[in-house]
């Protein structure tokens, strides 16, 4: 069964928003690097297993959300950063994956939740063989400092197109536009 822990940054770290921040995941029992094109094949194929190891084939995501301090769950549609980690793990044990939060992405000081989201090849949540088990994902809390004092804009990186995607919710309508990564 898949299990993930966020190894960087450390829980309760203070992160300088003016520099790139690395998020590193240690993932066991996942054959990473399997990723369908989300805009063409989303949820269109069943979960697959590696023929040799019988482990699920899929990929990871990281998401960063600001917490308001009330103890209430954050709105799942509101995030400061989201990235699919679509590459295969290249370390000797094939476990370590990482994403980079670009400098100046986080614009509001405060406490943030960084979470992993494990997905199958076609982006659906992984099916696990038993219900009584540990979680396949991890979350930590960090403090963002040295921000620009602006409002967060949702930033997602779609590696299937190599473009940054920003989205702005307007109640139930979502406007999505691709942004030239060289701009």
Task: Give the chain's domain count.
Answer: 1
**What is the spatial distance between Cα 2 and Cα 180, in angstroms, rounded to a whole number?**
35
pLDDT above 50 for 92: yes
Residue 153's pLDDT is what? 62
* pLDDT (mean) for 55-75: 94
Question: What's 79's domain CATH number?
Answer: 2.60.40.10
**What is the spatial distance between Cα 144 and Cα 124, in angstroms, rounded to a whole number?**
30
Per the CB < 8 A criterion, the answer to whether 135 and 62 are in contact is no
Residues in Cβ contact with 71 at an 8 Å cutoff, skipping those fewer than 6 apart: none
CA–CA distance from 23 to each of 15, 37, 52, 83, 115 (Å)?
A: 11, 23, 29, 10, 10
Q: What is the DSSP letter of 56?
A: B
pLDDT above 70 for 159: no
CA–CA distance from 42 to each of 85, 96, 182 (Å)?
A: 16, 25, 27
pLDDT digits (tens, 9 = 90+) for 111-148: 999 999 999 999 899 998 889 999 999 999 999 998 76
Highest mean pLDDT among 28-32, 36-40, 121-125, 159-163: 28-32
**What is the spatial distance between Cα 152 and Cα 47, in angstroms, rounded to a whole number?**
34
| CA-angle at 172, arms to 85 and 17, nearest 5° | 45
pLDDT band of residue 157 (cuts 50, 70, 90) is low
Per the CB < 8 A criterion, the answer to whether 8 and 82 are in contact is no
Cis peptide before 33 (omega within 30 of 0): no
Higher pLDDT, 165 or 20: 20
Residue 91's pLDDT is what? 92
Higher pLDDT, 70 or 147: 70
Q: Which domain holds residue 144?
A: 3-179
pLDDT band of residue 176 (cuts 50, 70, 90) is very low
Dihedral of CA 107/109/110/115: which sign?
A: positive
pLDDT above 70 for 179: no
């Amino acid at each position: 069964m898949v299990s993930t822990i966020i190894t960087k940054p450390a829980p309760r770290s203070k992160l300088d928003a003016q520099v790139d921040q690395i998020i590193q995941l240690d993932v066991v029992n996942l054959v990473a690097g399997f990723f369908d094109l989300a805009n063409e094949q989303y949820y269109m194929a069943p979960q697959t297993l590696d023929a040799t190891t019988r482990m699920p084939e899929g990929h990871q995501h990281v998401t960063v959300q600001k917490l308001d301090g009330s103890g209430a769950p954050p709105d799942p549609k509101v995030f400061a950063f989201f990235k699919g980690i679509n590459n295969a793990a290249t370390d000797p044990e094939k476990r370590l994956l990482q994403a980079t939060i670009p400098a100046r992405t986080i614009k509001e000081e405060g406490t943030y939740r960084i979470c992993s989201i494990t997905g199958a090849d076609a982006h659906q949540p992984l099916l696990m063989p038993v219900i009584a088990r540990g979680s396949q994902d991890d979350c930590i809390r960090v403090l963002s400092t040295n921000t620009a004092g602006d409002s967060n804009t949702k930033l997602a990186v779609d590696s299937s197109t190599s473009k940054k995607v920003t989205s702005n919710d307007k109640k139930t309508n979502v406007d999505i536009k691709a942004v030239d990564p060289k701009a």
